[in-house]
Amino acid sequence: MADFPTVRLRRLRRTPTLRRMVRETSVSVNDFIYPLFVEEGKNIRKEIDAMPGVYRFSPDTLAAEIKEIAALGIPGVILFGIPATKDETGSSALEPDGVVPQAIKTIKDAAPELVVVTDVCLCEYTSHGHCGVIENGCVVNDATLPLLGEMAAVHAAAGADVIAPSDMMDGRIGVVREKLDQSGFQDVPVMAYAAKYASAFYGPFREAAGSAPQFGDRRSYQMDPANAREALREVAADIAEGADMVMVKPAMAYLDIIRRVRETFDHPLAAYNVSGEYSMIKAAALKGWIDEKRVAMELLTAIKRAGADLILTYHARDAARWLNEKE
Ligand SMILES: [Zn+2]
C-alpha cells in the first residue's frame, strides 16, 4: 500500500469539477416527497408558526401550491389531514368525502402525474390525539387495526397512489394490505413507517397537525430512541406483512438506523426529515447563525449517504430550487 507522499488525497479536491466527478453521493429532486397539511374548510392558507415557509391549506387553496411543486420537478407529496371534527375513534378519518379525499381530487386535477402518498393514522382525527382506539386509558392494538384498514381503502378509493401507515400498531401492514386487496386496490403500494421512534423532534408537526396527545405520550407504541436492533425487527415484520417500501423516522438523529436498514434489506427506503429538524435549521438561519442552504443540503446529503432512497422533507421546495440553480 502506497503512503504519503505518493498518496495525496487532496489531489482530487483541487477544482470544483474534479470534486464533482468523484462525488459519491448526490441529492436529486427525484428523491423528495413533500409533506402537505390539508385542513377542512375554505380559503385557508395559514403559515405554521414553528415551521416558516410551511402552510396549512384547505382543499380549495391547494391547486396553486400543487402546480408549483410539480413545476419544480418534485415527484410526490404526502398528505396529512386536519378534519373539522374529532371524536374518540377518529371517525372523520373514514369519511369518503373527508379532507384527505377532497385534497386528493384537487391534486389529481391540478397535476395528474404527481404521486400522492397519504398518511394513514388516527391521531389527527381523534379527540385524545392518540394513534389508536383508547380502552381503560390504553391505546389498544387490535381494535385499531380495522379502522386503519378502512382509512387506507377510503384513501385508495379517492385516488391515493401510495398508502403510508404511521401508527406503529403491530400487524397494521398486513391488515391494510388485506383491506386494500379486498377493495380492489391490489396495485396500490404500501410505504410503512416501519421504524418510527417516539421522538421529541416531532414537536412542531403537532402544532401543524393539531395532533398532540391530550394525555400521556406515544412511548407505548412508537420505538424507544435507544434501540437499533429492534428497528430491524420492525422493518422485517412490515416487509413480511407486505410493505413495498419502508421508512425510518426521524432522519437526522437516526442515520445509523437508516444505514442498518439499508444494509439488511433491499426494499426502497425512505427517511423522514421531520419538523423539528426543519425548525432548528430555519430558526438558526433566521438568527443569522447558520447558512440555511448549505446546512439543509448537507443534511439531505447525509440522509442519502446513510442509505435512504427517498427523503420526506419540508425543505423539498427550497432544495429543488437550489438544485436547479447553477453552482
Ligand atoms: Zn399517529
Query: Whole-prediction pTM value?
Result: 0.97
> What is the 167 CA–ligand 1 centroid distance (Å)?
5
> What is the 15 CA–ligand 1 centroid distance (Å)?
47
* pLDDT confidence of residue 327: 57
Check residue 5 and report its DSSP letter: T
Does the structure show a pLDDT above 80 at 326?
Answer: no
Strands 269-273 and 162-165: unpaired
Q: How far apart are CA 95 and CA 114, in angstroms?
A: 23
* pLDDT confidence of residue 264: 98
Query: Looking at residues 25-35, what average pLDDT do you find?
Result: 98
Query: Looking at residues 262-288, what average pLDDT do you find?
Result: 98
Strands 76-82 and 32-39: parallel
Which amino acid type is present at position 129? G
> What is the 132 CA–ligand 1 centroid distance (Å)?
8
Q: For residue range 140-190, what is the model confidence (pLDDT) as tens digits?
A: 999 999 999 999 999 999 999 999 999 999 999 999 999 999 999 999 999
What pLDDT band is residue 209 in, cutting at 50, 70 and 90? confident
Give the DSSP H or E segment for 320: helix 316-324
Q: Name 170's Cβ contacts closer than 8 Å, sequence gap at least 6.
A: 141, 237
83 within 8 A of 45, measured Cβ to Cβ: no
Helices (H), 59-98: 62-71
Q: For residue range 290-324, what is the model confidence (pLDDT) as tens digits?
A: 999 999 999 999 999 999 999 999 999 999 999 99
Does the annotation count 196 as an active-site position?
yes
Check residue 290 and report its DSSP letter: S
19 within 8 A of 12, measured Cβ to Cβ: yes
In the set 86, 105, 108, 196, the catalytic residue is 196
User: Considering just the CA atoms, what is the radius of gyration of the chain in Å?
Assistant: 20
Q: Cell numbers 387495526 label which residue?
A: 145
> What is the 314 CA–ligand 1 centroid distance (Å)?
18
Does the annotation count 249 as an active-site position?
yes
Q: For residue range 98-122, what is the model confidence (pLDDT) as tens digits?
A: 999 999 999 999 999 999 999 999 9
Q: For residue range 255-268, what is the model confidence (pLDDT) as tens digits?
A: 999 999 999 999 99
Q: For residue range 37-83, what is the model confidence (pLDDT) as tens digits?
A: 999 999 999 999 999 999 999 999 999 999 999 999 999 999 999 99
Q: How far apart are CA 35 and CA 316, in angstroms?
A: 9
Q: Provide φ and ψ at 81, rounded to 5°.
A: -95, 140
> What is the 125 CA–ligand 1 centroid distance (Å)?
9
What pLDDT band is residue 220 in, cutting at 50, 70 and 90? very high
* pLDDT confidence of residue 257: 98
* pLDDT confidence of residue 206: 85
Q: Provide φ and ψ at 209, rounded to 5°.
A: -100, -5
> What is the 26 CA–ligand 1 centroid distance (Å)?
32
Nearest to 112 by CA among 78, 79, 75: 75
The angle at the Cα of 83, spanning 79 to 85, to the nearest 5 degrees, equals 165
What pLDDT band is residue 207 in, cutting at 50, 70 and 90? confident
Residue 105 CA to its chain's centroid (Å)? 20
In the set 249, 287, 293, 326, the catalytic residue is 249
Q: Name 101's Cβ contacts closer than 8 Å, sequence gap at least 6.
A: 95, 154, 155, 157, 158
SS3 content of the chain, % helix, strand, coil (to 5): 45, 20, 35
Q: For residue range 117-137, what is the model confidence (pLDDT) as tens digits?
A: 999 999 999 999 999 999 999
Question: Is there a cis peptide before residue 146, judged by omega within 30 degrees of 0?
Answer: no
